[in-house]
Structure 1
Amino acid sequence: MREARRATLKDIAESLGVSVNTVSRALADKDNVGVETRTRVKEEAERLGYVPNSTARSLVLGSATTLGMVITNPSNPFYAQLISAMEQHCRKHGYSLLLMATEESLANERRAAEELLRRGVDGVLVVAVQEGAEHWRRFRTAGVPLVLISRDVPELNTDLVGVDHVQGGYEAARHAIARGARRIYFLEEDLRVSSVADRVEGYRRAMAEGGLPMGPDSVIKVPTRRLEQSALPWDPSEAYRLARDVLRTEQRPLAFVAGNDYFALGVYRVAEEAGLRIPEDVLVVGYGGHPFAPYVIPTLTTVDLPATEIGVSAVDHMLRRLKRPAAGGAPEKILFPPRLVARASSGGSGT
């Protein structure tokens, strides 16, 4: 199937039987174009889905250009830090950042893509919902660079900057094994996205390497609450309920590795209510390096993610694509290694 093509001034001109210069002046609301002609041109531009070339416009006007940023949930501490780093780095290079949130909704993501096309952004940085690609292909067809962040969309065959989540899941589980845990449960989101799948893969690798058993319930999928409570990236209550079910049947000691630090909080509450000690009875490892990790009691062992480095790298990668649009080249995948920070919840001494 032929992909959508970005309409041009020439397309509008040929459709209406007028000159390209007339179309350009009409869209710019110049006084030397009649009201009727301006109306016809704008209506046809809307019908054809015309999007102005903001890169060319910025070169003419000498003004700052704009990058679009589409993210799932800006209240996620990792994404909040990422956005801050990207915005500062964009500003440093004379770009503004237009942020749009999807809350893991494909419909919202499609609307965001249409709005960014309409606004004529110079490039788009995306944390994708991963349930569709056609709306992002339109940017590639229009010559607008697209850089994925954190989550891959293989069918787009485009640049990706993110975290090595396979390594992160592996390090978290391997640390629990090294601390003596032999029954390890992995609490992870029920989202079908690459970052989740990669963390689970890393966990399975560590368990297989350690020769530890994995039953059908070893990976516990926690229902996400993000669509119902968009103010929070995750809700610990479901992790609390599911961890409680495990503790009712499992002998101690055991371990929980959580796909995010919020789920670890659910395990903390279960342990306290059951009169269990962390880490003596229940060892806990989180993921994400969220700001509260060093302040809960006991302090939380977690996998820290280099959000600032990822944000700066993603913007730099986009700027290189914009400066050399004709150079092309194969898409690049840049994955930053996460870092495990051992604290009291796993018997470590870190702060």
Structure 2
Amino acid sequence: MVESRRVTLKDIAKSLGVSVNTVSRALADKDSVSEDTRAKIKAEAARLGYVPNSMARSLVLGSAMTLGLVITNPSNPFYAQLISTIEQRGRTHGYSLMLLVTEESPEVDRKAAETLLRWGVDGALVVPVQGEGEHWARLPESGIPMVCLNRDFPALDLDFVGVDYHHASFQATRHLIEGGARSLCLLEEDLPISPVAERSAGFRKALTEAGITSSEDPVISVPTRRRESLALPWEPADAYRLAQDIVNRGDLPDAVMVGNDYFALGVYRALTEAGLRVGDDVLVGGFGDHPFSAYLSPGLTTVRLPAAEIGTAAVDLLLQRIRGNDGNAVAEKRRERCELVVRASSRASKGTTT
């Protein structure tokens, strides 16, 4: 068996009878090498299968040219689009991406921070497992700029780019109220994270402003994250069982809001099995505008999240910090507005922008 070996600059130089420095300058597109020589060197490098040593290049440049991205669960459609946008935006500026997944584990979250510190990435984009966040504060203290995505640490002086969940939830709930709903409930995730708190607060604000009160808490927690496996971020079966309970109690609300569109799948099934018509007997509103939402029957009214806008804004802010063009700027907190996509589940025909 022939042992393979990485092609080096020395191999290219030997093959063409030129110096290693000439090869290095040609591959780096330095002006000190003629166009003819540069073309020959690049052609020979391609023929030999030369691949630049990124680690060596990092030592020379003093930069890893790598951005760290920490995501809780990449199967979440919002995060999947976020990953794609960030990777493309970073690549445009010459950066590779190191992706770490925490699956909502505080321990893995802490290890992710240690990994980024150990590898010396140029900057980090982080969807944190909220709680104690001091381990993330170590990154900027060590000279690694960091931007929080989707979840913020208000007590820490960290940049943040995310969704204006409060405003979006308020507008979606108000839309259902304007459609005739006078009793509403919200099926929400049971995680102690800021998006859940903000959606719940926006929902409650809409009820309060409309003068709608309830003897019971209208926000119902869905225990969807209490499993050993977190391969999927949400499970429709949990919302299905809760919706069945609501139907069986006979205290049916005029409208049901859900914290994500997967929950709507469970709600639709429970209502349909009970002989109820979504959009007529009960209005339903969702969050996420996942690919299946438009193809439900009836189509689901839902909030479309600005993943691409958030990913682009986050990378641009991080690169600004990396380049140090902002002096001693204070941490920025950016919240992107969402679009309410109105479909037949709320008995309306026109969409509005929130």
- TM interval, shorter chain, is 0.7 to 0.9
Aligned to 2:155, what secondary structure does the other structure show? Answer: helix
Return the letter of the residue paired with 2:229: Q
Q: Equivalents in 2 of 1:235, 1:257: separation in Å?
A: 16
Aligned to 2:161, what secondary structure does the other structure show? Answer: strand
- Please report how far the alpha carbon of residue 232 of structure 1 lies from its aligned counterpart in structure 2 after TM superposition: 1.0
- Please report how far the alpha carbon of residue 136 of structure 1 lies from its aligned counterpart in structure 2 after TM superposition: 0.8
Q: Equivalents in 1 of 2:55, 2:168: separation in Å?
A: 38
Query: Equivalent residue for 2:209?
Result: 209
Q: Deviations over 1:247-266 (max 9, x none)?
A: 22245561100010011111
Change (3 A) 1:253 1:215: closer
Change (3 A) 1:226 1:83: farther
Change (3 A) 1:304 1:215: farther
- Please report how far the alpha carbon of residue 57 of structure 1 lies from its aligned counterpart in structure 2 after TM superposition: 6.6
Change (3 A) 1:286 1:128: same
Contact map agreement 2:190 2:225 (CA 8 A) in 1: no
- Please report how far the alpha carbon of residue 230 of structure 1 lies from its aligned counterpart in structure 2 after TM superposition: 2.3
Q: Deviations over 1:32-63 (max 9, x none)?
A: xxxxxxxxxxxxxxxxxxxxxx9997372487
Q: Equivalents in 2 of 1:90, 1:227: separation in Å?
A: 34
Does residue 194 in structure 1 map to residue 180 in structure 2? no
Query: Equivalent residue for 2:269?
Result: 269
Query: Equivalent residue for 1:320?
Result: 320
Does residue 83 in structure 1 map to residue 83 in structure 2? yes
Mapping of residues 38-117 of structure 1, within 5 Å? 58=58, 60-61=60-61, 65-117=65-117
- Please report how far the alpha carbon of residue 227 of structure 1 lies from its aligned counterpart in structure 2 after TM superposition: 5.0
Change (3 A) 1:202 1:286: same
Return the letter of the residue paired with 1:96: S
Change (3 A) 1:234 1:289: same
Q: Equivalents in 1 of 2:110, 2:340: separation in Å?
A: 36
Q: Deviations over 1:171-198 (max 9, x none)?
A: 1110110110111000100100111000
Contact map agreement 1:188 1:221 (CA 8 A) in 2: yes
Report runs of 4+ in structure 1 exceeding 2 Å deviation: 54-64, 214-217, 224-231, 249-253, 348-351
Q: Higher mean Cα deviation, 105-114 or 311-320?
A: 105-114
Query: Equivalent residue for 1:307?
Result: 307
- Please report how far the alpha carbon of residue 246 of structure 1 lies from its aligned counterpart in structure 2 after TM superposition: 1.2
Return the letter of the residue paired with 2:83: I
Contact map agreement 2:64 2:120 (CA 8 A) in 1: no
- Please report how far the alpha carbon of residue 168 of structure 1 lies from its aligned counterpart in structure 2 after TM superposition: 1.2
User: RMSD over aligned Cα, in angstroms?
Assistant: 2.1
Contact map agreement 2:243 2:270 (CA 8 A) in 1: yes
Q: Equivalents in 1 of 2:327, 2:55: separation in Å?
A: 17
TM-score (norm 2): 0.80
Aligned to 1:79, what secondary structure does the other structure show? Answer: helix
- Please report how far the alpha carbon of residue 350 of structure 1 lies from its aligned counterpart in structure 2 after TM superposition: 5.6
- Please report how far the alpha carbon of residue 349 of structure 1 lies from its aligned counterpart in structure 2 after TM superposition: 2.7
Query: Equivalent residue for 1:4?
Result: none
Return the letter of the residue paired with 2:269: R
- Please report how far the alpha carbon of residue 205 of structure 1 lies from its aligned counterpart in structure 2 after TM superposition: 0.6
Query: Equivalent residue for 1:282?
Result: 282
Return the letter of the residue paired with 1:225: R
Query: Equivalent residue for 1:339?
Result: 339
Change (3 A) 1:348 1:226: farther
Change (3 A) 1:64 1:137: closer
Query: Equivalent residue for 2:225?
Result: 225
Q: Equivalents in 2 of 1:227, 1:350: separation in Å?
A: 39
Contact map agreement 1:133 1:155 (CA 8 A) in 2: no
Query: Equivalent residue for 2:16?
Result: none
Contact map agreement 1:55 1:65 (CA 8 A) in 2: no
Q: Equivalents in 2 of 1:215, 1:110: separation in Å?
A: 41
- What stretches of structure 1 of length at least 5 have no aligned partner? 1-53
Q: Equivalents in 2 of 1:116, 1:334: separation in Å?
A: 24
Q: Equivalents in 1 of 2:229, 2:345: separation in Å?
A: 28
Q: Equivalents in 2 of 1:157, 1:163: separation in Å?
A: 19
Query: Equivalent residue for 1:235?
Result: 235
Change (3 A) 1:88 1:246: same
- Please report how far the alpha carbon of residue 225 of structure 1 lies from its aligned counterpart in structure 2 after TM superposition: 3.0
- Please report how far the alpha carbon of residue 135 of structure 1 lies from its aligned counterpart in structure 2 after TM superposition: 1.1
